[in-house]
Structure 1
């Protein structure tokens, strides 16, 4: 497949790019600064907020691994709006590296992770912005998308186990009762879903074992 990765120099984007390359996909890095890129791949050097249909519609999948600091939420909302506009009415699938804050912790879907007492205030802006970005996708017409929420503990230093469990809209835990996934296993899940197309126009989540 022909895959474009927005934010390919970030932690998640870099690992997703590596995983896609190792599986033999054609990969293009979509970044603001090509000098930060560690891989020899085609590059679109452009800010996410300036991307257009012409930039993106030739890809089979566009992965949005765009990141912000924890105190910024509006950029995620704006990015969702811009990418939705660019990809509506095309055959290009939008795959969003999402957040865990919008996962539900109760069966009736009345309480999200962000609403729980222990959720850190410092990251609420970013978490809330990503939750609103998901809502935009869920309400978008004529758009093919997938949103993957990681576990609450999203561990960049964690090992690659090659295995994970999937859920939909609710927080899930591993055998130790923890909501955990490593970045390496998350990247595997992203490419598995891109290839298998099991969650079209929906959000799903994953959890893994620590290594």
Structure 2
């Protein structure tokens, strides 16, 4: 008997979430759309969509235990940008060791230029960005949190890196894109 991978997609009705939902269901994954408004999910994905309508910050350990993979495509307003890191912390502390957490982050946390400065610093220079800069800044904080273990350290052992590289060689998943490896 083949078991279908069960995926919880947080923020399924957002820009990235919609695309992930379509691709994941097309690939045969059992996707549950976590959303704030079930009607919007049904409008976008049809009446057959499996919906979990609640605030992602209230997902319990028991609720999360029902999924093999949690994809965090959460998005929010600039006024609530600190919820990016709060949700990352919430999920990390409630997921079990066999569950995978995939997090979609914006480019603000990436480095650019010969001096390797943060892209978020370039974004701040865009006229009018003060109205929404809190979002990429919040996602940078989220990434910083995700790259640290319980002791607040950020490191990757050679063994962890080797496992990630072998997995990527055997099952190519990244082509001309950034992905991060860190010990948990």
Fold similarity call, TM over 0.5: yes
1:1-211 aligned at under 5 Å gives the runs: 1-38=5-42, 39=45, 40-87=48-95, 89-106=96-113, 109=116, 111-116=117-122, 118-119=125-126, 120-141=129-150, 165-168=175-178, 199=179, 201=181
Where do 5+ consecutive residues of structure 1 fail to align? 142-163, 169-198, 203-211
Given that residues 71 and 122 in structure 1 are in contact (C-alpha distance below 8 angstroms), is that contact kept between their aligned partners in structure 2?
A: no
1:173-194 per-residue CA deviation (whole Å, 9 max, x = no partner) reads xxxxxxxxxxxxxxxxxxxxxx
1:128-171 per-residue CA deviation (whole Å, 9 max, x = no partner) reads 11110111110035xxxxxxxxxxxxxxxxxxxxxx95243xxx
Given that residues 41 and 51 in structure 2 are in contact (C-alpha distance below 8 angstroms), is that contact kept between their aligned partners in structure 1?
A: no
Greater length-normalized contact order (CA 8 Å, ≥ 6 residues apart): 1
1:121 CA drift (Å): 2.5
Equivalences, count: 148
1:12 CA drift (Å): 1.5
**Structure 2 CA distance, aligned partners of 1:53 and 1:105?**
38
Structure 1 length normalisation: TM-score? Answer: 0.63
Given that residues 9 and 34 in structure 2 are in contact (C-alpha distance below 8 angstroms), is that contact kept between their aligned partners in structure 1?
A: yes
Where do 5+ consecutive residues of structure 2 fail to align? 151-173
